A and B are shown apart, each in its own frame.
Chain A
């Protein structure tokens, strides 16, 4: 017998078995349920894109029973939703070491008809801060080389020791599954539990990248939300935004990054060129209106 291969195989199965009591199936969309993970006592995280209704959400618990869950809040930008369900479940241990490309990763999900399920592959790429196409910020970009099936999204991504790296989502990248890292989940869960939502800074401007005569890159104001934070502070159409909070801005991602460190209600200094003259305007950061 190939003892090494057999030992590796049972190690993988043991990781799945160990993680299973923390993973639920989430019923919040037609057809395919998704998966979710007990992140804190009574608190489940899942992928926001799998939540299609706000009421009558249920979860299939590790013991196979169904229980109602309430939506505490969600953050489409990071594709995270937070549910509350009263059930005592063990929590997964956080990963002790940094996530690195090449390490083995498993996704652990649950479906109501066949219980816990697993897929295996590797972490194919890791980088720092990553802005999603949905406008949120992940603390790390963790790309997965493994197959995500319908229902895998929201499941736990664990390493070979059964420690959690994050949760899986198929909605943040067209080319690969992505793990929403634990650090991002912790941050979003904190905000949702304390405020019910993740508020994002908002200036109320439409911007377009331009190049100034000295080849410096900047952003020209093409539209202004009426009575929005920028309009109220005196920003005009045609103003050229060159810096925000002291950092130069070359594209709209720079605006998002600058606003991350300026909570709603705080003033941020905007460096502006108007008619060839530099000036600074303090804009009080507003809250981005919620999507209907």
Chain B
């Protein structure tokens, strides 16, 4: 019968360090399958490749096989076998107050453990996706992409952000959805809310928005909620109204690639 320390140790072995070479720091990741599937945050793995370091110090070049910016999840693949995979839990069964532990590499301390309780489960203003787990435990930036586990050591979420001091994790069921159905349709832009719409701050060169000739400075009409609804409508073509320069409303048609499951 494993004690707390053993649960933490098991979780540490399923936690990896992820560096994408773009930023100075590193994030964390979770070994999702023994055959080399690693889950982390999309904001940790921004490039097509990343470096992964296992708990035992082994280093691997990883291919970023899928990114879902709206769930803030990314799937990585390393050439390895027999890895200590984490056991996912059912995040729909999570209750406020239950014990949780997180493992990650906050501020460069590899494999640091923090504990606390689930604060709440629900939508978060300003973050897309319907459900996020908020936890009353101390996280630091390097925790991003690492596991949030329950008292049984099952991974119920991927630590994603810190909001007003609370840890915010993408639920494990959302991760399962990402792996089964592929990334949610996304425009491939960075947006900033304005009183009358959403200003495009950045356009990914190979994203659907770029293909639909949306540019930096364009303002999409409507709110985040309306945009998310349109993106989640299931259609592979979405019409968007936007403002460019003068006060004339223009329209563009955005095409999304067909969803593809992430190979396990």
* Smallest Cβ-Cβ distance to A17: which chain B residue: B95
B120, A9: Cβ atoms closer than 8 Å:
no
Question: Which chain B residues (74-99) contact chain A, with CB distance < 8 Å?
Answer: 95-99
Contact of A1 among B2, B96, B124, B136 (CB under 8 A): B2
Report the minimum CB–CB distance from B129 to chain A (whole Å): 13
Known: A106-B97, A120-B136. A111 touches B120 (CB 8 A): yes
Asked whether A3 is an interface residue with its Cβ less than 8 Å from the other chain, the reply is yes
* Smallest Cβ-Cβ distance to B2: which chain A residue: A2
A113 cross-chain contacts in B, Cβ below 8 A: 122-125
Contact of B96 among A3, A6, A10, A16 (CB under 8 A): A16
* Smallest Cβ-Cβ distance to B101: which chain A residue: A5
Asked whether A173 is an interface residue with its Cβ less than 8 Å from the other chain, the reply is no
Report the minimum CB–CB distance from A3 to chain B (whole Å): 7
Question: Which chain B residues (86-145) contact chain A, with CB distance < 8 Å?
Answer: 95-99, 116-125, 134, 136
Asked whether A196 is an interface residue with its Cβ less than 8 Å from the other chain, the reply is no
Alpha-carbon gap, A54 to B208, bound state (A): 49
Give how many A residues have a beta carbon under 8 Å from the other chain's beta carbons.
28
B97, A118: Cβ atoms closer than 8 Å:
yes
* Overall SS of chain A's interface: mixed
Known: A1-B2, A2-B3, A149-B164. A9 touches B99 (CB 8 A): yes
27 A-B Cβ contacts within 8 A?
Answer: A1-B2, A2-B6, A2-B153, A5-B7, A5-B99, A8-B99, A8-B151, A10-B151, A12-B98, A12-B99, A13-B95, A13-B118, A15-B97, A16-B95, A111-B120, A113-B125, A114-B120, A114-B121, A116-B120, A117-B96, A118-B97, A118-B119, A118-B136, A119-B119, A120-B116, A120-B136, A150-B164
Binding site for A on B (CB under 8 A): 1-4, 6-7, 95-99, 116-125, 134, 136, 150-153, 164-166
Asked whether A115 is an interface residue with its Cβ less than 8 Å from the other chain, the reply is yes
Query: Most A CB atoms within 10 A — which of B4, B119, B125?
Result: B119
A15 cross-chain contacts in B, Cβ below 8 A: 97
Alpha-carbon gap, A129 to B117, bound state (A): 31
Asked whether A147 is an interface residue with its Cβ less than 8 Å from the other chain, the reply is yes
Report the minimum CB–CB distance from A146 to chain B (whole Å): 8
B166 cross-chain contacts in A, Cβ below 8 A: 149
